Amino acid sequence: MKASRLISAAVLLFAITAARAADDNLPGFLLPGEDWQVAVSGVGFADGLSSQPGTGAIFFSDMRGKGDAKPGVYLLSADLTKTRLFDGKFSGTRPAPDGKTLYAIGDKKLVSFALPDGKESPLAEKIGTNDLAVAKDGRIYFTGNGKSQLSLYDPKTKAVTAVDTGTLKNPNGIGLSADEKTLVSSDYAGVTVATFAVRPDGTLEKKSTMTMKAPANKPDVANGDGLAIHPSGRVCVTTALGLQVFSPTGELLGIVPKPKQGSMISCAFGGKNAEYLYVSCGDTVYRRKVAPHPK
Give the C-alpha separation, 150 to 166, whole Å: 9
172 in a structural domain: yes
SS (H, E, C) the chain: CHHHHHHHHHHHHHHHHHHHHHHHCCCCCECCCCCCEEEECCCCCEEEEEECCCCCCEEEEECCCCHHHCCEEEEECCCCCEEEEEECCCCEEEECCCCCEEEEEECCEEEEEECCCCCEEEEEECCCCEEEEECCCCCEEEEECCCCEEEEECCCCCCEEEEEECCCCCEEEEEECCCCCEEEEEECCCCEEEEEEECCCCCEEEEEEEECCCCCCCCCCCCCCCEEECCCCCEEEEECCEEEEECCCCCEEEEECCCCCCCCCEEEEECCCCCEEEEEECCEEEEEEECCCCC
Q: Is residue 294 part of a domain?
A: no
How far is the first Cα of the chain from the last one, in angstroms, to the nearest whole number? 57
* Regions of the chain where pLDDT drops below 70: 1-25, 294-295
Other C-beta atoms closer than 10 Å to the C-beta of 79 total: 7
Contact 197, 181 (CB under 8 A): yes
Peptide linkage before 116 cis (omega within 30 of 0): yes
* 225: in domain: yes
- Which strands make up the sheet holding 235-239, listed edge to edge? 227-229, 235-239, 242-246, 252-256
- pLDDT at position 17 is 37
Q: Is 173 exposed, middle or buried (0-12, 13-18, 19+ CB in 10 A)?
A: buried
Closest-CA residue to 245 (of 232, 253, 19): 253
The answer to whether residue 295 sits within a structural domain is no
Chain centroid to CA 237: how far? Answer: 6
For residue 49, tell me if it sits in a domain: yes
Domain hosting 39: range is: 2-289
Q: 84: burial class by Cβ within 10 Å (0-12, 13-18, 19+)?
A: middle
Prediction pTM value: 0.91
- What is the structure's pLDDT at 25? 56
Q: Does residue 142 fall inside a structural domain?
A: yes
**Total structural domains within the chain:** 1
**Residue 66 placed within a domain:** yes
* 54 in a structural domain: yes
> 32: domain CATH number?
2.120.10.30
